[in-house]
Amino acid sequence: MDKQRIILSTNLKVCLKEVIDSYPHDIIFILTDETTFQLCKPTIDSFDYLSNAFYITIGATDLNKSIESLTHVWYELSNKGGSRKSLLINLGGGMITDLGGFAASTFKRGIKFINIPTTLLSMIDASVGGKTGINFNGLKNEIGVFNAASCVILDSHFLQTLDYTNILSGYAEMLKHSLISSVDHWSDLLHFDLNDINYEYLQKLVALSVKIKEKIVTEDPYEHGIRKALNFGHTVGHAFESFALSQNKPILHGYAVAWGCICELYLSAIKVGFPHDKLYQTIQFIKEHYGTFTLSCKNYNHIYELMKHDKKNNSGIINFTLLGDIGDIRINQTATKEEIFEMLDFFREGL
């Protein structure tokens, strides 16, 4: 997989034109969901070089990260005359960059695509690193490919279109990045005022978060080794997401990751010695900002079965990334069913 080109933009109109001009193309397509069409399309409406672009719009939320939405995008690309020389711009959050990236990777055996993430979550996670895909059969990201966008443009202007819950959703992935990197970064995030956001400083934190992910992805693009560090909080988090979807009560990805981090920090503490003071400082921050995820002991087997479907597993053994300390990454860790149930007990009762 080629190294991804990532640009921190201060003038999207100029930046996007330079990027588009660097990739010869015939037709430009712009993929949005209903929310980003309404809130983010106005930002690029005045860009004259996009006047002939075709818009493709799908439903919002993770419920639409589906084979039906993917098929709709393929139909639109085909019916509007798309060719192998066409260019797809994904303007939206992680659902759009994941699904759009997969659509572009498979249409005509692959066309170039540019990601313009509009949520905090997609800026520091979904749009960077080359993972694309859709949900399938009730499971998160079950179908997809590794294929990096030709370019990712990060523009903090879009963050001001987000509501508080979507800021928090992205911030959870930033917190995860801090846990796998350094105490200083972790401390900065725990002390950042999310109730009175300094967007200029937030963009600096975003840039640092992207660098952490980019460094790991460059070292291990196809997740054979250290890239598994980025899965911290996700083995449980994805199971929580899939469980919520099965109840027709979808939850934001970042919230699931935050709750997954609580669970996997607990496993880290009992299995590889993660310090209890940092465990409880992190839990307190998550509790204050994210609340908790409601489940009962009757749900444990269902969640356990969902965890067994995680793509990191080998021969049915659930695979975790754990931490001996902040920045002390321990990949390819396992836990017994009993330990996992104890972990879920802690999550329900230890907050």
Catalytic residue among 65, 72, 131, 278: 131
The reply to whether 338 belongs to the active site is: no
C-alpha span between 284 and 262 (Å, rounded): 10
Q: Which residue among the candidates 76, 173, 241, 264 is catalytic per the annotation?
A: 173
Candidate list 90, 115, 147, 231, residue with the active-site label = 231
Token readout for 82 is: 């798309």
Which of 214, 231, 237, 118 has its CA nearest to residue 166? Answer: 118
Q: Edge-to-edge strand order for the sheet containing 5-8?
A: 5-8, 151-154, 112-117, 87-92, 28-33, 54-58
Catalytic residue among 72, 234, 278, 330: 234
Of 256, 278, 251, the C-alpha closest to 266 is 278
**Annotated catalytic residue 142:** no
- Choosing from 140, 177, 238, 330, the catalytic residue is 238
Among 65, 140, 228, 253, the active-site one is: 253
Among 223, 264, 319, 330, the active-site one is 223
Is the dihedral angle over the CA atoms 216, 220, 226, 228 positive or is it negative?
A: positive
Among candidate residues 72, 176, 227, 330, the one labeled active-site is 227
Q: Which of 52, 109, 200, 249 is catalytic?
A: 109
d(CA 322, CA 311): 17
Catalytic residue among 213, 228, 278, 330: 213
Let me know if 223 is a catalytic residue.
yes
**CA 331/CA 320 separation, integer angstroms:** 7
d(CA 261, CA 256): 9
Beta pairing, strands 320-325 & 87-92: unpaired
Q: Does residue 84 carry a catalytic annotation?
A: no
Residue written as token pair 């590794």: 146
Element (H, E) at 293: none
Residue 72 main-chain phi, psi, to 5 deg:
-60, -45
Read off φ and ψ for residue 5, nearest 5 degrees.
Answer: -90, 120
Active site residue 227: yes
Q: Which two tokens stand for residue 139?
A: 């499971």
238 is catalytic: yes
Active-site residue flag, 330: no
Residue 275 identity: P
Hey, what are 91's tokens? 């303007």
Tell me the C-alpha to C-alpha distance, in Å, between residue 305 and each of 219, 226, 308.
31, 25, 5
Q: How far apart are CA 266 and CA 263, in angstroms?
A: 5
- Clarify whether 90 is annotated catalytic: no
173 is catalytic: yes
Token pair in block for residue 27: 């037709």
CA gap 16, 102 in Å, rounded: 21
Distance CA 285, CA 187 (A): 11
Catalytic residue numbers, as ranges: 109, 131, 173, 213, 223, 227, 231, 234, 238, 253
